[in-house]
Amino acid sequence: MPLTNTQPRPVQLPTLVLCLLAAAVIWLLNALNKNNYTVSVQYPIEFVYDQKLYVPTTPLPKTITVSITGNGWKLFRKSWLPFRSQPIRYSVPRPLETKYINTASLAASLTDHANDVRVNFVAGDTLALNFDRLAAQEVPIVVDSTGIDLAESMVVSSLINVNPRVIRFEGPARLLRAMPDTIKVKIPARRLTQSYDEELRLPIPRHPLIRASADQVSVSFEVAELLQPLPPPPPPQPVKPAKSTRSEKTGKSAKAKSVRKK
């Protein structure tokens, strides 16, 4: 029987890729079934404090870095789906006295909260806390009437209406102490010849920790033509000489008597 030369079939690339992918999946599944893996994960945290009395002056961390050890599948779930876990609640009973997160108590709370893994420690980054007392301050709003630019022979013929007349600020007490006592609004219009009614932006300090009850003010007043000039102011009265007092007269008469005796 004659021998025939058979050429090997070329390996098809899609088949090779599928084989390698299947092998990688099998290896990954076997690896995830093992225990004693250690990873660092971002765990959600929620701070509990009296929000009616205190306000954080620096942003509170939304997550903390935690080193945990456990089964591969559990660590995989916590590493890739961390925010599906319920956040750990960290109580701050005395915000003005608390400057840092107590990592020991936080790790103990995490151990009770995530009982399917072992909590090794809480990383020490972004653990500073800064609180201030929440305060409120009301500041009146006034219009700079002396700066209203009117056309020639035009005058403001009514009261200047301002709404609102008072603006309320809420925020950290330390920042509110630097607020001005009065918010002065300037009229930007020039050479006014008719009544004015506009919404103006308030010139108030902008800070992410300070909330204002309004950022605009409504200003309105009437403008009319002055038909006759205002009367000139009265001339200043001459200064009258001061009248001599009784004691001065008595002194003068005494001097006169002494002269006569001589």
pLDDT at 136: 96
**102 and 138 co-located in one domain:** no
**207 and 137 co-located in one domain:** yes
Query: Does residue 182 form part of some domain?
Result: yes
Structure tokens at 170: 């809420």
The list of the chain residues with pLDDT below 50 reads 1, 83, 256, 259, 261-262
pLDDT at 237: 76
**219 and 173 co-located in one domain:** yes
pLDDT at 93: 93
**62 and 147 co-located in one domain:** no
pLDDT at 83: 46
Query: Does residue 251 form part of some domain?
Result: no
Query: Does residue 194 form part of some domain?
Result: yes
**98 and 38 co-located in one domain:** yes
pLDDT at 74: 64
Our count of domains for the chain comes to: 2
Whether pTM > 0.85 for this model: the answer is: no
Structure tokens at 155: 């005058």
